[in-house]
Structure 1
């Protein structure tokens, strides 16, 4: 029997505000461990990745906070939120006045999560499930929260980010100190102390930095 994404998300999450971005409400999981186990047990047969869409990760919270506090950086622009997860950063960009926002994620359930979350905040966010790495994008800015957690993934996206930057697309990332952050290529923008779930992280607060990629 095929599991309906919307039914599953509504049954296993609750609308709540991430602690560092109280202006935004998302369908988030209360218990990380339980939801992780449930997706493994119930959804493994259809090959879904872990439910990253059900949590407000530190990098995304920091990046969303920066955008909301500095709306001029996205106002009137076309914004691509890469590896969007819950859609938190995409929603922040739209609330801050972006002309068009596209949330991108290869997890097929992220599309439903983003749609539900955009609805909670009464904003319009487009979605693509395409693997965009290496592609040209129709955007003025790319934003990405918490994407440097894996060496292979970082090795794939950093050259792409650099290419986009050289093409004049601003690249902003939010990162809480992940192992594969390319610090030498980044320019500091802001730093935050972001409350997080201990079940997901190694502490209750993560120092999270927003960076701009240098061309």
Structure 2
């Protein structure tokens, strides 16, 4: 999710419909009132009892956001905020400033990524994210999740559909699709039996639709 007028991007994890609507409202707030106003709104969650009550006891309304912005005076910034009391390291409803790689999913140590040729980052960082960064998402997709908030069942494959790359600069935010998997809503994700993902970086929407029709 990205802002239309201001440099804001929000990566969403949670109950899809509720979380996406929540993120969309925050991006709209930023578009209308600026990045600083949106950051202040997120900071108010910690003390706003009505906000806490709304999310605390409702797993379906829960959210987990990674937020990237270009602050008008302080430059690029990254934050994490969520509503789940069971997540380690980050207290719920607090806007946490983070200066390191932030991943909501399987974690791979640096040596494992070096061994696979994904690290180090070389050349243009945007090109690396479109290629090697998408490979990291392939690895995460192939790893069963066991740490989702509110879930106590057996681990399962949780990453599906597609990969979008959001970029935030002083000029604004943009988003492009770089991976598409042949998952179907309502069916289990089974990466171990699927064909290789389609690399759609650089294709426009019409071209992606045509490709999906050919491979359906």
Superposition TM-score, scaled by structure 1 size: 0.26
Superposition TM-score, scaled by structure 2 size: 0.26
Q: Decide which structure has the larger Cα Rg and report it.
A: 2
